[in-house]
Structure formats: structure tokens, C-alpha cells
Structure 1
């Protein structure tokens, strides 16, 4: 009878432990990246009253089964359930969710830890950190902006090397749009002609404007149908001040070139008189190209391009309104150049690469978030603050980590992983646990009443 009481006590203990697990799960129903737990039970050591025996043909007696009395129940395991939690949209670019397996790697002087809670912020030194101040680990970029996937390091976004984008000098410009042949501004009697500009940057990041004019000549090149002459007018700085006046005092060294040949004042843009499409630029309709170059601009300032290529192949001569414009670079933007820029924002891609956006329009990689994977993630040990640490049964972290794409997963910015606690299951388990606790307490009560009856026999 005493055995039944102790069996009941063991039942109370394990159901209380199970209730502790359930209570912790419910308490963390809104904890970002929380992984719920479950308790499992096992029966305890048995007292054998009679062992089993085999049948005996000689005595014609049958076999007997063992007779045992169990001594209660114990906790078999408390397992961490590593199923992925639902997604919660936050629209905060510093909130990141892991789609698939793996953990973020974070750490400080106390060691390296792992978490599924992708709640990050940028500290005063430009590092990505957890709310507790642990730095997010990842891979840096080299001088060429390429990711170096080696030993993980704290991921610094606003480093001195990454805070600015260097200026780049312009090497190409494209002129496009339509010039109407009968536009009165092209008339040879008009002293200004049709004026348009192209802008470009020097290697220091200063912006300049080159002013051109288009005109119909009274005779010679540029006077025939489908022809219009091109002239350099002025070179201006970013404040509109005239640096070079090509009309009144043209420097002999600065020239419009077709290959190695100077074009001078005989530069003509040719159009097909049937289709109105561009057919070439040069000083002779038999030897034309799509573009010209303005050579020796560096005589004005060393940082100016030595050879600025201007592409006119996108121009047309249709009836209608004239609207000639220009853009820096070719159709893919190559050769456009840019001013110096500062880091204005950054985004985290699905591959974990952090891409910086600069005020001058440049984008470049700032680093990549590394992911840690384990052969047995359920073997990780919780240490609080949404953190796990490796154990002998989880597998070791190699210090390098994985590219999230190599695991078949992805990172989603602006989203957090919610707790994987299922409240309907937890409440059901709570009810079952309560009934189990009540039943075990009844064992103790009934055993006590039986002992009272036994003691009462002496009265």
C-alpha cells in the first residue's frame, strides 16, 4: 500500500513538471522565434514478485508470466520542438526571418550563440546587433566589393570604408530624341541654333555641362536635306559659370574627333530622308559613325576626361516637335560617372547579402549574413533571451557557417518568425495534465484512507 502512495507522489511530480513546461510555452506564445517544448513520461523501476517460467512437458505444467509492481512514473524527456513558426510582417528592414533550417549567429565577449529571432538594430559603430547588444555574425567584403566567405566576424554596415561612395568620371553620354528639319531654330539666320546640353562628372565628382547647337547651314555640309550641323558652344561648371567659350575663344587642343581625325566645324549629323532615322555623324556622308569624341578636355582641368564619347545613334528627324535630350552613359548606363555619395539606406536580400544604397545612386555589397546549421538542432540548449548554445549532442559550429542559399532556404526582410506555440494544443494538454494530477492525488487520498482502516483494526 505504501508503494501506491509513492507512485502517486511520483505522478504528482511529473504532472507538475509537465504543467511547468506548458506554462512556459503559453507564457512565450508571443515571443519572437520561440520554440515550444514538450514533456514525455516513462514508467519507473518495477518490483518483481514472481519471475516468469517456461512450460514443462514432463510435468505437464504450463508457463507462468512474471508478476511485477511498478514504482511510479518519471520524466523521460523535455524536447524542444524545432518546427518553423508563422511569419509576422513588420515592414522593418532590420527584421529578418529564416525560411527553412538554420540559425543566426550572434555573439559577444561571453561566446557565440544562435537564434531564430531576427530582431536586429544598428549600433553607433555601425554593427548589426540584437536588442541585448550581441553582434550579428557574417562575412565581410574585400576591396573589390566581393563577399569573403571565411571565418565569421561581426557584421559592420556603416564602416568608414563603406560610408562613402567614391566619385567616377564620365566617359560616355547619349543624345536622343527628335530634331524637326523645319524647326525655325535651325534656320541659318538664327544666331543661336537649336541648343541642347549633355552633363558629365570629372574624376573628382564635380559636375559639368557641355552646350551644343544644331543648325541648317546656308551651303555646304549641313545644308542638304536630312543633314544638320553640330557645333560645340560652351563648357560650364555646376554653378553655370562658363569655363570654355568654343564660339568666341575656342582652345585649339579641345576638338571633336571621329576616331583619330578632327571634325572641327564640319561635323554633320546625317538622317535617312525616307525613314527619318539616324544614319551617321561625321564630316562626310560616306564616312560616318554612331558617335564622336570630345578630346583633350583635361587641358582645362586634370580631372576632366581626356576623351568623352558622345553617342548620337538614338536621334531621329521626324515631322513634329523637336525634343533633343541627353543622358550620361550608354543604354545600360555604362560610362555614366557619378558624384561622391554617402550611404543612405541598405537592404537585406534573400541570400543574406546586405546591399547599401548611396545618395549618388550607386549600390554595392556591404557584407553577408551567415547561417549556422546543426545535425541535431533539437540538441541545442536554451540560455534565455531567445538564444541557444551548442552542446555535444547538437553538433559543433565550425566558425564559418553556411550561405542560406546552400541550405535551400532564404532570408525574408521586413518579416519576423513568430512563436511556434499552438495554443489549442497547449490548452488541451493543460486539461489532460490537470486530470492526471487529480487522479494521482486521488491515489494518495485513497491509500491514506485504506491505511486508516488498517490502523482502525486494533480498536
Structure 2
């Protein structure tokens, strides 16, 4: 069978994966905090017809024949990587105090676990025992206890006021109003009209955010290739410090998907897929001609 037929099959598989990735990007064009994916290709192994040779040296030490380059036939392409691009998305103003966006690096930390990991009295968290995830989607809410959670009920991790460990930030039911500052400080006005501080939202920052693994729900989970693990309060960062971006209340970070770029990539992927199908049909016509030689 012709090698070109199998090369065309490998090319079709690769462009199909690229179209799947582009389709996912377009589907999440309005997903808060979504980070787009990118597919890269690499060539597969090549069949060597003849190896390289150096110049032939005669008896007198002079070259009597020049060297030869290798002759190789490629056997197609394959997916090299599927990257997650962590560039900044556009900011959309909502004027809702619990909508938070980050201008720069950093990610919100979410935690979920049982009462043995999260103390219901002081709302402290042992980050080594709970399930933590990370997100750029800043649409948060208050539960019945006044704790800040995301739309799945996962707690937003920070440092409660007066505590020396990571925990849940809670706003009392008697608070007249509250606000979140650019450094993540959560302030509220109590029933007497006096300003109080509930705590400070903390962030995580990774040396290689592309090493995080998507788990759905606009969230990522930690992998060893992302950088140092988040194990305690000392690993949590204040917004605007240590390389993290500032926190903006009343706004949300939108997806970083560019529709114009996505449609352009979709057209090129479609044409690449079609070109590889033509390789298969052309190879089939050649094989048919060979079969017809018997007639």
C-alpha cells in the first residue's frame, strides 16, 4: 500500500483534533475566566531510504568522493501538544460587589471538604486535607452562613480577620453593606454603622500555569508541572504583590478567545483536512490504476 495514504490518515486525525479544540474555544467565547486551547503538530518518524555518508578519503589523504545526505520519506504528522493559553481576557463591568476580576497574574483558590477539614466555628481550612482548585472566574456569591462561595458552592479561600491560617471569609447577616478592595480586603459596615474587616481574599500564582489541568466548572487542578504546591497560608499571595495582579470588584474577566482568530484557524484546519482527504483519494486512484493493469 502507498505510504501517502497513511500520511493522509494521520493528517486527517490531527486536523480533526484541531477542529475539536477550536470548536471548544468558540463554544466558550462567553465563559467567564475561560482560557483557550491551541493544538500544535509535529512530524512522525521518517523511513530512511539511504543514510548519510561522509566524504570518501583516498590513499593519499585527499577526498575522492563527496559526502551524501540522507534520503528519507516522512510518514505523516501527529499532534505535538494541546496547550492552554493563559493570556488576559477582556474585563466586563457588572457593578456587582461580589464579581471579581484580576488584572495580571494569579488565580482565585477554591476549597471543598467535610467538617473535619473546614472548622465551622472559626472557618479555618487545612489546605493539605481539602480538595483545592483554582479559577479566574470571579463570579462569587454568599451562602446562608454568609461565606463567599462560587456557583458550585466551593469556598473562596482567604485569610479571615484575626486568624493566622487560611480560611473562609464570612460576612455577617447584620452587615449593612460590604466592599472588596484591590488588595482583596473584604470590608463591611456593621449594624451600628461602624466599618469592620472580614478578612482578605488571597491568590495563588504558579510559575507554569499551563501545567494546570482543566477539571470543568471554569476551574483547574494542581499538577506537579505547574510549580510549587499550595499547602498553607504562607503559599497564598496578596493581590498586587509578589507578581500577582490587582483585584477589581464589580467586574468579571471574560474568555480570552478571539472569534476572528478562531474562525481563521477553523478555515485553515478545514482546508488542511480537505487536502489530506485528497491525498487518500489520489492514492486510491493510483492503486486502482495498478489493479487495472491486470485487465
What is the TM-score normalised by the length of structure 2? Answer: 0.89
Paired residue for 2:241?
406
1:351 to 177, 183, 186: 183
Paired residue for 1:121?
141
Matched, 1:75 2:95: no
Kept in 2, the 8 Å contact 1:380–1:394? The answer is yes
Kept in 1, the 8 Å contact 2:41–2:79? The answer is yes
Name the SS for the 1:370 alignment partner.
Answer: strand
Deviation of the 1:357 alpha carbon: 1.1
Matched, 1:97 2:126: no
Paired residue for 1:151?
165
Paired residue for 1:437?
273
Paired residue for 2:125?
none
Could you list the per-position Cα deviations for residues 170-198 of structure 1 after superposition, in whole angstroms to 9, with x for gaps in the alignment? Answer: xxxxxxxxxxxxxxxxxxxxxxxxxxxxx
Distance 1:71 1:15 in 2: 16
Name the SS for the 1:107 alignment partner.
Answer: strand
Kept in 2, the 8 Å contact 1:103–1:115? The answer is yes
Deviation of the 1:414 alpha carbon: 0.3
Matched, 1:52 2:52: yes
Name the SS for the 1:33 alignment partner.
Answer: coil
The structure that is strand-richer by fraction is: 1
Deviation of the 1:23 alpha carbon: 0.2
1:388 to 199, 213, 220: 220
Deviation of the 1:399 alpha carbon: 2.8
Could you list the per-position Cα deviations for residues 5-30 of structure 1 after superposition, in whole angstroms to 9, with x for gaps in the alignment? Answer: 11100000000000000000000000
Distance 1:119 1:359 in 2: 26
Distance 1:360 1:156 in 2: 18
Structure 2 residue ranges without an equivalent (≥5): 114-129
Name the SS for the 1:351 alignment partner.
Answer: coil
The structure that is helix-richer by fraction is: 2
Could you list the per-position Cα deviations for residues 224-248 of structure 1 after superposition, in whole angstroms to 9, with x for gaps in the alignment? Answer: xxxxxxxxxxxxxxxxxxxxxxxxx
Deviation of the 1:405 alpha carbon: 2.6
Structure 1 residue ranges without an equivalent (≥5): 143-147, 164-341
Name the SS for the 1:8 alignment partner.
Answer: helix
Distance 1:12 1:350 in 2: 48
Distance 1:30 1:416 in 2: 11
Could you list the per-position Cα deviations for residues 23-75 of structure 1 after superposition, in whole angstroms to 9, with x for gaps in the alignment? Answer: 00000000000000100000001110100111114262111110011111000
What is the TM-score normalised by the length of structure 1? Answer: 0.58
Kept in 1, the 8 Å contact 2:183–2:247? The answer is yes
CA RMSD across the alignment: 1.3
Deviation of the 1:398 alpha carbon: 3.1
Kept in 1, the 8 Å contact 2:176–2:193? The answer is no
Name the SS for the 1:94 alignment partner.
Answer: coil
Paired residue for 2:264?
428
Q: Select the structure of larger CA radius of gyration.
A: 1
Paired residue for 1:40?
40
Distance 2:89 2:232 in 1: 26
Aligned residues: 271
